[in-house]
Amino acid sequence: MEKPDSEAVWSNWQILESRMNERIESILNFGSKDNNIGLIKAAKFYNACLDDSLMENKYLSDLRMLVKDLRGWPLVQDEVNLENYNWFKDILKITRLLGVHPIFKVNVNIDYRNTSSYALYIEPGDLIYPSYILKEPKKYPVEMKSYKFWILQTIKHLYKDKLRRNVKADVTKIPQFENVFSLLQRIDPKIIANYLMWYVVKDLSRETGNHLRLLNFMVDKSVMRIKSDITRKTECLNEVKRYFQNALVPQYTQQHLIPKTLETVKEMVYNIKNEFIKVIKRSYWLNDHTKNLAVEKIKYLKEYIGFPAWANNISQLNEFYNAVNITHSHLHNVIHLKNFLMEQNLKKYKQNVDEANWPSGSLDVNAYYSILQNAVFIPLGILEPPFFDPNIPEALNYGALGSLIGHEISHALDMTGRQANKFGNIGIWWIEEDILKYEKQTECYENFYNSLDVNGQLTIGENVADNVGIQISFSAFRKLKNSKVFTMIPNLETFSNEQLFFLAYSQMWCEITEKRTYL
């Protein structure tokens, strides 16, 4: 396994992502579009994305016009009016237009007090640069120099000679979220306006052509130690997945989904849940009241496998993508789609939650547990070798995908999951004594991982889930093994089924990585 120069990490996860991109490209170029409006528009979007370098000057002009329409950039424009400046309205306007979250995040999600409906959330925003660098900039002089160079060169390329020479920027201060509102009242409005416009330009910079993409890559090179940028084709395929994943589902399932896959995975989830329930019942340290509620929660836990039902329904797909307008301008398309998806998110406000509420894309190479839905989501993207194949021995499937399923299910009762009941509503149902006992039980994990030069306290939730996940998946497999005859794999006949289980698990996590990735 050789790591591409454009990747900071290369593992079976990234290899599967790469294989997924090849399949998506084939669907876009050669797949039957039938009456799938979303797929037709996805193909048009992809072609415009590939041809974006031919319109670089126009895109830069369009980006300048967008900045002006959003109020303007005091850093380079004299006519910006900041009298009675309302930064809150500007943030909301940017968020609604582009679905990005400078300073704070506004979005609609399941209401934690009543998980049958949606609520509006305001949370900390997304940082432009890694927090570990911004918090201790003196430890990373090369990265900070690269970041400042990125800002200055981007502005110079976009606005030529209009950058004011006496401008100073402090990019290191990260106030705590609870102090942001009071802090912003005391900051010069120009600083806030400048930051918001840089956030917009930064977000769209890779959509404007080769020059700004190169500047963006130079920052990634400094931080992640990668040697080359991803190809334009890869970037365009990633964007197709971001905006049109569900439109790809009908063709993807037709070409690549083995019929018995979904049924087999559903059976795996059932078996692993049952083993987790047995573990809970054997937990001598849990009070019977807590134990019974924990068992009830796992029994109630739902699984969603493959894709939301509407994603394989052409009529419903067409209804969703009908309002999407794709042109020959890639920058226009990206802005339009960002706005479209943000509007779809806001439309959920005060609506009832239905089973179509997937927190992830159907082609994601991952699995998830949703605390507010008490459900595991296992997308199509991960139902592929080396994670899963319905035609290979169960030892390999349970060692890889089964351990991931167990990992996600275990989150239902971890330090975060235990705060929600079986319906996903937040509330206390563990007695205080059991919470203290749980924390005591996890100390051994914390101490063990600390001994491996890993921050055991910071990673405790994932470490416990890893260990519980492999334990309950192995138990489920051994029970299955007692009732079935397994086919041996050619060239692996010398390995027992138990050994194959752990080979599959270890292969899943084999990777080549840059040291900086773990910071």
Residue 386 preceded by cis peptide, ω within 30: yes
Q: Which of 239, 272, 306 corresponds to the end of one domain?
A: 239
Number of domains forming the structure of the chain: 2
**Strand-pair partners of 352:** 117
Clarify whether residues 87 and 179 are in a common domain: yes
pLDDT at 59: 95
Clarify whether residues 202 and 266 are in a common domain: no
Clarify whether residues 231 and 268 are in a common domain: no
Clarify whether residues 165 and 285 are in a common domain: no
pLDDT at 519: 46
Clarify whether residues 201 and 297 are in a common domain: no
- In which region does residue 358 sit, left (phi positive, over 0), alpha (psi from -120 to 50) or beta (all else)? beta
Handedness of CA 346, 348, 349, 353 (dihedral sign): negative
Clarify whether residues 50 and 188 are in a common domain: yes
Give the length of the chain: 519
Clarify whether residues 189 and 303 are in a common domain: no
> pTM, whole model, 2 decimals?
0.91
Decide if 359 is inside a domain: yes
Q: What is the CATH number of the domain that holds 449?
A: 3.40.390.10
Q: Give per-residue pLDDT as tens, 170-206.
A: 444 444 555 677 777 888 899 999 999 999 999 999 9
Clarify whether residues 218 and 112 are in a common domain: yes
Show the tokens assigned to 401: 């995908």
Give the count of beta carbons closer than 10 Å to the beta carbon of residue 368: 17
Can you say how many angstroms the Cα of residue 394 is from the centroid of all Cα atoms in its chain? 29
Decide if 245 is inside a domain: no
Decide if 4 is inside a domain: no
CA 468 to CA 283: how far, in whole Å?
Answer: 13
- Cα dihedral 401, 8, 100, 48, rounded to 10, equals -90
Instruction: Calculate the alpha carbon distances from 180 to 28, 104, 187, 203 in Å.
Output: 45, 9, 10, 22
Per-residue b/e over 45-60, b at no fewer than 16 CB within 10 Å? bbebbeebeebbeebb
Q: Which segments of 283-388 does DSSP mark as H helices, in order?
A: 288-300, 314-321, 330-347
Q: Is 490 exposed, middle or buried (0-12, 13-18, 19+ CB in 10 A)?
A: exposed
Q: Give per-residue pLDDT as tens, 366-381.
A: 999 999 999 999 999 9
Clarify whether residues 216 and 271 are in a common domain: no
pLDDT at 178: 55
Instruction: Calculate the alpha carbon distances from 470 to 237, 446, 450 in Å.
Output: 33, 18, 20
Decide if 160 is inside a domain: yes
CA 243 to CA 232: how far, in whole Å?
Answer: 17
Q: What is the CATH number of the domain that holds 86?
A: 1.10.1380.10
Clarify whether residues 178 and 90 are in a common domain: yes
- Which of these, 415, 449, 463, lies nearest to 435 by C-alpha position? 415
Q: Which of 209, 239, 269 corresponds to the end of one domain?
A: 239
In the Cβ-directed half-sphere of 217, how many Cα atoms lie within 13 Å? Answer: 19
Q: DSSP letters along 153-166, please?
A: HHHHHHHTT-S-TT
Decide if 253 is inside a domain: no
Clarify whether residues 46 and 175 are in a common domain: yes
CA 95 to CA 107: how far, in whole Å?
Answer: 9
Decide if 323 is inside a domain: no
Show the tokens assigned to 389: 């194949």
Q: Domain range for residue 137?
A: 10-239
pLDDT at 167: 53
Mean pLDDT by 10 residues, the chain (519 residues): 83 94 95 87 96 86 95 89 90 95 91 92 86 88 92 92 57 53 82 94 95 93 88 96 96 94 97 98 94 98 95 94 96 98 93 82 95 96 96 94 98 96 95 94 91 87 96 96 68 88 94 65
Q: DSSP letters along 373-384, please?
A: TTEEEEEGGGSS
Decide if 223 is inside a domain: yes
pLDDT at 174: 45
pLDDT at 162: 65
- Which of these, 91, 88, 110, lies nearest to 101 by C-alpha position? 91
Clarify whether residues 501 and 467 are in a common domain: yes
pLDDT at 215: 93
**Strand-pair partners of 304:** 377
Decide if 2 is inside a domain: no
